[in-house]
Amino acid sequence: MTKQPRRSAYAYFCLFSLYFGAAGGFLYPSLVINSTDGALWLPILLWACASAASCLLYVRLLRGLKGQPLLPFARGLLGPVPAWLLVFPLLLFASGAVIVMLRSFSELVTMTLLPTTPIPFLDGMIVPAALLAAAGLPPIFRAARLLFLLAYAILLFLLLVGFINTHLYYGGPWLRADPAFLLSGDFYGGSFLWMGFAFVALCGSYDAEDSRAFRKGYLLALGVGTALVLAFVYLPVLTFGRELSSNLTFPFVTKMDSVYQYWIVFENLTSIFLSATMFCLLVVMALKLRTIGSVAHGLWPKLPMSKLVLAASAAVFAVATWIPEWRVIESWLFNSLVIRLYVMFAFPLLLLAAGKRKNAKEESR
């Protein structure tokens, strides 16, 4: 496989930031609000810390790849059969992630703007993402750099406008920690938002310099993304109160729909929010489809990458269109926790342990 050109920390920052913008505003807020009766920032910061720890594990792993992709490295380190067993859960993880993202956004558009538009038509947004994914990882990074400033300028405007008619006392309790959220399925269901680095790690080529840019870009994006997510969660709560916000499927979207001010020239802020989210979504879906292709290529290296990506895109479209209702999407968020924890911690730890064992054997000879 041809080595990918070097990417700057800023390129990684743009892509990782778009990942937070792609799902943080419509899937995540209701999960956090329903997960705890205590301070809402606590579960957010706990996942942010877990995400940083997992990213550093991946960075340590990527540092030793010496310019090759992660999955061929795993295959050479473990052998074909153990590598296949270790990698196959990654394929399930990436496939489920892009299916949920595609269908949930189509549901959001149906609920808010286009109630009579057929779901299969809206799911067709996967076509440009599939073409971008088939073109390779460099075009995905170029698209991320192009769309980042535009998408985040719109989101920043919406967040500033969102402070209209907010009341700080609705956000309480601000300091009370309620450990009961550690037993909440909503808390663990929200883990999907903090895993953008895993997709990039699985489909790129890395050496020590690339891994440093990867780490710096993600940690910077994590700071920006955490602030963005805090705003997505708190703005509806500060507007409607916690009880009403907990009953809303898309709290932040409802908040945007409730903003009315004489000096705002745009009549429908929800459509503006969906446009910004769409910019993020297309790049992130392309990244996830590329990851599916990379993982599948790691399992079946003789199959061409572009055909694997296009076949995966067709399968994702079919499954997303087939999903009968919103509850199926929620079920996947909750029931795929084990796979997500495996991707975040078990997979890199197993490869690091295998690499350390191999090095110890070579040194003992």
pLDDT digits (tens, 9 = 90+) for 116-150: 889 999 999 999 999 999 999 999 999 999 999 99
Q: Residues near 228 by Cβ (< 8 Å), separated by ≥ 6?
A: 20, 21, 24, 155, 159
pLDDT on residue 68: 87
pLDDT on residue 265: 56
d(CA 232, CA 190): 13
Residue 113: phi, psi to the nearest 5?
A: -120, -40
pLDDT on residue 263: 58
> E strand or H helix at 205, and its extent?
strand 205-206
In this structure, are residues 295 and 90 in contact, taking their beta carbons and an 8 Å threshold? yes
CA 233 to chain centre: 17
Q: Residues near 104 by Cβ (< 8 Å), separated by ≥ 6?
A: 23, 26, 27, 326, 329
Residue tagged 């989101």 (tokens): 155
pLDDT on residue 1: 44
* Other CB atoms within 10 A of residue 126 CB: 25
Pairing of strands 205-206, 68-69: antiparallel
Helices and strands per DSSP (H, E), number in the chain: 18, 2
pLDDT on residue 12: 97
Parts of the chain with a pLDDT under 50 = 1-2
pLDDT on residue 335: 80
> E strand or H helix at 206, and its extent?
strand 205-206
Q: Residues near 130 by Cβ (< 8 Å), separated by ≥ 6?
A: 286, 289, 309, 310, 313
pTM above 0.85, yes or no: yes
> E strand or H helix at 55, and its extent?
helix 41-62
In this structure, are residues 99 and 319 in contact, taking their beta carbons and an 8 Å threshold? yes
Residue tagged 């489809």 (tokens): 289
Per-residue model confidence as pLDDT tens digits over 18-68: 999 998 988 899 999 999 999 999 999 999 999 999 999 999 999 988 888
Please enumerate, as own/partner, the contacts of 183-188 that have beta carbons within 8 Å and a separation of 24 or more: 184/34, 184/35, 184/36, 185/334, 186/30, 186/31, 186/32, 186/34, 186/35, 187/31, 187/32, 187/35, 187/36, 187/43, 188/334, 188/337
